Amino acid sequence: MPYVAVKGGEQAIRNAEALLKAKRRGDQAVPELSLEQIKQQMQLAVNRVMAEGSLYDPDLAALAIKQAWGDLVEAAFLLRAYRTTLPRLYYSKPLDTSVMTIQRRISAIFKEAPGGQKLGPTFDYIHRLLDFKLAAEDNDFVAPGSDKFDIKESTPRVAHTLAQEGLVIPPSDGENNNNHAIEDSTQQAAPFDITRQSLTTPTQRDARLQNLARGDEGFLLSMAYSTQRGYGKNHPFAGEIRMGEVEVVICPEELGFEIAIADITVTEVQMVNQFKGSKEIPPQFTQGYGLTFGYNERKAMAMALVDRALQAKDLGESIDGPAQDEEFVLYHSDNIEAQGFVQHLKLPHYIDFQAELNLIRKLRSDYERNQDLANSASANAEHGVSNSQEVTTA
Amino acid sequence: MISSSSSPPPVTESGSELLSVPPVNPEPGFNFAYLDEQTKRSIRRAILKAVAIPGHQIPFSSREMPMSYGWGTGGIQVTASVIGKEDTLKVIDQGADDTTNAVNIRRFFRKVCGVATTEKTEEATLIQTRHRIPETPLKEGQVFVYQVPMPEPLYFIEPSRTEANKMHALEEYGPMYVKLYEDITKYGRISLAYDYPVMVNDRHLMNPSPIPRFDNPKMDMNPALQLFGAGREKRIYAIPPYTRVKSLDFEDHPFSVENWDHACEFCGATDSYLDEVVIDDQGGRMWICSDTDYCERRQRERSGSAKKLGQ
């Protein structure tokens, strides 16, 4: 078969798509996955796709996972592209996570946290042994009887206990760096919106947190880990981790009153970090904050560590590690952007490569000409030297 | 698979193919050109700013498109926000209308706009490109949209955008000249084959997108409106018609473009950018125009039919 340049018409693209669909379906004898199955039995995948896809819709996320052949980054990309077609109708009121139907809540900094702790559904203390019984189907698992936690009541934040003693700096809210009392942050200027405005650096915490909330879990995990290993160290404690359902409330101007539009599951993490203080600020604790759609604890914890690392510039700390470098973190956290640019190398680049070919041939011919010149010059020189030697010996 | 035979690559007669396709009804379920009107308006505002300050990068709120970042989303968003029902669209990648990515983007706009498309440079009102400027000179009234992977010309000297923005503001382009000078001392010539930086309107250093330096002179005093969209980096910039665009150089090392010792195998052109096509694994090569429209037009003018590389 002779060499054929990779140019393809519509037919080739259509065939590739049809092939992908067939491969994705797999063996026809095996029943097709239903969206309900994905939504029910692969909830953590659905949660990750909603978080990184920046759209809370478990049904669409399940569809994206099915369509993406189980590739979660691709699924998040599908959700993002769909998101583009949706108008932004309202901004919700800030979520009140102190009023949460709590499924899980732990604190690592006090033996007893006011409001109590609850492990909830977690892998944390499970032995990671392959459960071969699970390989059999028709499993019937019964949830243990729920306790009084299921009632929706206000649960005070652990960090509040520290704040009462003035031991923790309320983090800057973005708009207002010199603001020490931010209890009232909702009343301030509208927050930045990274989905409607172009993120430019240097930026503020509101934009940073939005970027991190939909950033790639793997990237944030590695960045967070790097701070623990000394690249921008600020020893963290898990002040509080909670997961559960909260109400989303909007207040349309034309109505003038608030209405709840949805209950969504979120994971919220407040880290408490050491801070040695500076000239202006006495030593106290600082906070890192993480919030994700769904049950997404590893991501929320990583986010909180990176949020704290990125406060370095506001706190006047020296910026030594990549996790503290705002531009580095924010411009490389988005996996939709990253996967696209890395994979675009698959597109034809033969024009630029041709230009490089022409150039390298020129550079090599320059080099060879110079070598030839140098060789003949040194040959002449040697010749001259031997002549002169002859002269001196003569 | 590459065979050891040295038979020439297959060529097809394109006389029967439709070079221009009339408009159709767009597929229902999408807003015209995919983006909603608010988004298009915000992008047009960025374009207007960009036209007002030639060569200066304007941030815009780039959206996720149904194609990946890095695959032309910036150009696609610019095209989507300026395209109208009356437009005739041409899309090229590597100079060719038939490369997969060009076909795919054209297919997208057929789907969401239903506009007429063409392969003929002179018939198009709107041209989206990746990596080339056509050999056929652009005209007044045409809009030429570049897909830009990396809008910041200083990025390989100063990776921080915060710093690079300051350098642009202060017109502090010395480090770029130093880099070019270092090339000359090291290699005897400037070793940039594409992405060759230009000065626009004697003020802003601009990345021309990865077109080969061969195409740089075509940007200067061009009668068409040239728009640049970088989707992933969320920047738009522009060269209004008849704007001075100068490729950086030195008095004793003037800017030059590459030339070939070959003519196009199909049309005999000696003035066009040539692709080197490997035809066997014995080192056999042939050279053909990268601009498929230019090549085919010249062939038709000579013999009435046109050959092109194909399956």
Same domain, A134 and A167: yes
d(CA B36, CA B31): 6
Contact A331 B160 (CB under 8 A): no
| C-beta atoms of B273 and A198 within 8 A | no
DSSP-assigned beta bridge partners for residue B206: B198
3-state SS string for B152-181:
CCCCCCCCCHHHHHHHHHCCCCHHHHHHHH
For residues B279-284, average pLDDT: 87
| Structural domain boundaries enclosing A41 | 9-83
Count CB-CB contacts under 10 A for residue A301.
22
pLDDT band at A188 (very low <50, low <70, confident <90, very high): low
Strand segments, DSSP code E, in chain A are 99-106, 153-154, 236-250, 259-273, 286-293
What is the ipTM metric for this complex? 0.83
Same domain for A211 and A314: yes
**pLDDT in the model for residue B45:** 97
Q: Which residue of A has its CA nearest to B149?
A: A341
Are residues A170 and A291 part of one domain?
yes
Nearest CA in chain B to A364: B187
CB B231 within 8 A of CB B57: no
Longest dimension (CA), chain B: 60
Q: What are phi and psi of B147, to 5 degrees?
A: -90, 125
β-strand pairing of B274-278 with B285-289: antiparallel
Angstrom CA distances, B155 to B46, B73, B301, stand at 22, 20, 44
Nearest by CB: A359 against B63, B70, B191: B191
Q: Indicate which residue of B55, B72, B229, B231 is catalytic.
A: B55
Domain edge (last residue) among A83, A112, A134: A83
Minimum CA–CA partner of B11 in chain A: A4
Q: How many domains does chain A contain in total?
A: 2
Q: What φ, ψ does residue A205 adopt, rounded to 5°? A: -70, -30
Residue A203 has phi, psi (to 5 degrees) of -130, -175
Tell me which DSSP letter residue A132 carries: G
Residue A91 resides in a domain: no
pLDDT, mean of residues A73-97: 93
Interface contact A351-B275, CB threshold 8 A: yes
A255 shares a domain with A177:
yes
Q: How confident is the model at residue B306 (pLDDT cuts 50, 70, 90)?
A: confident
Window 271-310 of B: residues touching A by CB (8 A cutoff) are 273-280, 290, 309-310
Range with lowest mean pLDDT among A349-353, B35-39, B42-46, B306-310: B306-310
pLDDT of residue A156: 78
Q: Is the same domain home to A122 and A267?
A: yes
Peptide bond preceding A202: is omega within 30 degrees of 0, i.e. cis?
A: yes
Q: Are residues A27 and A173 in the same domain?
A: no
The structure's pTM equals 0.85
Tokens 């991501």 locate to A299
Identify whether A372 is part of a domain. Answer: no
Please give the full DSSP string across A231-277, using - where no structure is assigned: TT---EEEEEEEEEEEEEEE--TTT-S-EEEEEEEEEEEEEEE----
Binding-face residues of B in 66-105 toward A, CB within 8 A: 66, 68-71, 73, 93-96, 98-101, 103-104
Q: Are residues A106 and A79 in the same domain?
A: no
Residues A329 and A218 in one domain: yes
The number of residues in chain B equals 311
* Residues 6 or more apart in contact with residue A30 via CB below 8 angstroms: none
The shortest CB-CB distance from B98 to any of A1, A7, A201 is to A7
Chain B CB contacts of A343 below 8 Å? 68, 70
Whether the CB-CB separation of B279 and B6 falls below 8 Å is answered with yes
B157-185 confidence digits (pLDDT tens) = 999 999 999 999 999 999 999 999 999 99
Residue A112 domain-assigned (yes or no): yes
Q: Cα separations (Å) of B62 from A199, A263, B44, B76, B234?
A: 10, 29, 12, 11, 5
What's the rounded Cα separation, in Å, for the pair A269 and B208? Answer: 45
Cβ-defined contact of A348 to B93 (cutoff 8 Å):
yes
The partner residue sitting opposite A351, judged by closest CB among B161, B234, B290, is B290
Residue A120 lies in a domain: yes
CB A107 within 8 A of CB A113: yes
Computed over every residue of chain B, the mean pLDDT equals 91
| Phi, psi angle pair for A317, to nearest 5° | -80, 160
In a domain, A385, yes or no: no
Per DSSP, helices labelled H in chain B are 37-52, 73-82, 100-113, 161-169, 174-187, 216-219, 292-303
pLDDT single digits (tens) A271-320: 998 877 777 778 888 899 999 999 999 999 999 999 999 999 888 888 99
For chain A, give the number of residues: 394
- Model confidence at A180: pLDDT above 60: no
Domain ends where: A296, A312, A333? A333
What's the confidence (pLDDT) of residue A227?
94
Do residue A192 and residue A321 come from a single domain?
yes
Q: Tell me, what's the pLDDT at A53? A: 97
Domain final residue, candidates A42, A58, A83: A83
Residue of B267, B268, B283, B304 marked active site = B267
A320 found inside a domain: yes
Query: Cβ contact (<8 Å) for B193 and A344?
Result: no
Q: Does B215 touch chain A (CB under 8 A)?
A: no
Q: Tell me if A280 sits within 8 A of A123, measured CB to CB.
A: no
Banded model confidence at residue B16, pLDDT cuts 50, 70, 90 = very low
Best CA proximity match to A88, nearest among B49, B38, B127: B38
Domain shared by A164 and A216, yes or no: yes
Note whether residue A2 is domain-resident: no
pLDDT of res. A281: 76
Residue A362, domain member (yes or no):
no
Window B:234-263, CB contacts with A under 8 Å: 234-235, 258, 260
Within 10 angstroms of residue B258's Cβ, the number of other Cβ atoms is: 17
From residue A168, give the alpha-carbon distance in Å to each of A249, A275, B61.
Answer: 29, 9, 36
Q: Which residues contact A170 (CB under 8 A, 6 or more apart)?
A: A163, A180, A181, A182, A287
The DSSP call for residue A99 is E
Question: In what order do the strands lie in the sheet containing B245-247?
Answer: B204-206, B198-200, B245-247
Least CB-CB distance to A13: which of B103, B162, B165?
Answer: B103
Residue B113 falls in the annotated catalytic set: no
Instruction: For A228-270, write each residue's pLDDT tens digit.
Output: 998 988 789 999 999 999 999 999 999 999 999 999 999 999 9
- Same domain for A264 and A325? yes
A257 and A308 part of one domain: yes
